[in-house]
Amino acid sequence: MSPTCALTGFVSIHDVMPEVLEEVQRLVAWLRQRSVAPITLLIVPGRSWQSHQLDLLRDLLADGAVLAGHGWLHTAVSTRTIGHRLHAATLSRDVAEHLSRTPEQVVALIRCCAAWFPASRLPSPELYVPPAWAMGVPDRLLSDHGFRWFERLGSVYDSRRRRRCWLPLIGFETDTQLRAMVVRCWNRLDLSVASTARRTVRIALHPHDLQLRLAGQIEPALRRCARFVDVRHAVEW
């Protein structure tokens, strides 16, 4: 095996909602052409899902995709706190819907997300990823809400074992030159760390990434991986 193809990758597509299903389908097809599987789809439940769109999710599941919860509306209701305003300015813009909420409101949002899947006749996911990885509550509040795994910017938390696993993360959603420069440096660092530490690397994709500034870096990153896994097999202790 080549040393440039020695990583294990956990590939997810964020922001899966009715408005971008065509782009998601194209991205899934592009990944499958490159033998990437499994692919985890991060579903935003609170949007206006139609029956034919839910059928499309079932078709993707039948072809081997894995579902995960991804917030509720993927839009912040407000940016009241200073921390939220800084987060929005530097990373999340208006999508970190957990922030500026009380812990009780965050827990309620997570539970609503979990309940949507069986109500929509879809399998209940084990993974929850808050929009922009902004959880907004401590790990001790992430139990018994319908999910086992909770992904943050730097780690994945196992609520059953009450342990965090640090996993490197790379992404490609960059619509400005400054963001592209920052994300490029971040990716280079985390790929190097993943290779040195022999950790699974999380590869976070978004529906429009193939049209954005770092599109040319996605395939080389995938080629660094000898195999791909779901979250259960990505977590290492």
> Using the 8-state DSSP alphabet, how is residue 18 labeled?
G
C-beta separation of 17 from 45 below 8 A: no
pLDDT tens profile 164-190: 999 999 999 988 898 899 999 999 999
Q: What is the pLDDT of residue 89?
A: 47
Q: How far apart are the first and last CA of the chain?
A: 25
**CATH superfamily, region 3-234:** Glycoside hydrolase/deacetylase (3.20.20.370)
State pTM to two decimals: 0.92
Which pLDDT tens digits describe the chain residue by residue (237 residues)?
A: 344 558 999 999 999 999 999 999 999 999 999 999 999 999 999 999 999 999 999 999 999 999 999 999 977 666 566 554 554 544 545 668 988 789 999 999 999 999 999 999 999 999 999 999 999 899 999 998 999 999 999 999 999 999 999 999 999 998 889 889 999 999 999 999 999 999 999 999 999 999 999 999 999 999 999 999 999 999 975
pLDDT score of 94: 64
Q: What are 43's strand-pairing partners?
A: 16, 69
Which of 40-67 are b and which e, b meaning 16 or more Cβ less than 10 Å from the residue's Cβ?
bbbbbbbbebeeeeeebbeebeeeebbb
The structural domains of the chain, with segments of one domain joined by +, span 3-234
E-state strands within 37-132: 39-43, 66-69, 127-128
